[in-house]
Amino acid sequence: MRKVILLSVLLISYSVMVHAQNDDSSKYIEVTGSSEIEVDPDEIHLIIQIQEYWEEEFQDNTKPEQYKTKVPIENIEKDLMATLQSIGVASSNIRVWEIGNYWRQTGKDFLVSKEFDLKLDNFKIVDTIIKNINIKE
């Protein structure tokens, strides 16, 4: 008798489990679509290069052989830093990116150049820097 009861309980529980797995009447929601978002950058890197030059380069009717007065990189850098500080760029956001030099003419000194990486958070500051910086061409 016990075997019959145990067997009937097993058959009933098995039929309940099989019926629960084959139940396709459950409801579901399927969603498809796409989305776009525009993100403004919160960090802008601006590279500024300065380099030594000869004062005579910017005078009319001078030849490279006549170049004698070199403007040191320290003076150019001091002027650049003063301009950046007056604009409002924090000194913690300015770092030296690269330092190099190049040969201008045989028999003349090396002319040192530096590149600075400015970390900014506003494009308006870039326009202000361009307007206020001393550029020699």
Tokens 């039929």, located at residue: 15
Among 87, 82, 72, residue whose Cα is nearest residue 122: 87
**pLDDT tens for each residue of the chain, 137 residues long:** 777 787 777 777 777 666 555 556 677 788 888 888 888 778 889 999 998 888 887 888 887 777 788 888 899 999 999 999 998 888 899 999 888 876 666 666 778 899 999 999 888 888 888 888 877 65
Q: List domains and CATH numbers for the chain.
A: 44-132 (3.30.70)
DSSP category for residue 106: T
The rounded distance, in Å, linking the Cα atoms of 129 and 131 is 5
- What is the pTM for the complete model shown? 0.62
Largest CA distance in the chain: 123
The rounded distance, in Å, linking the Cα atoms of 16 and 11 is 9
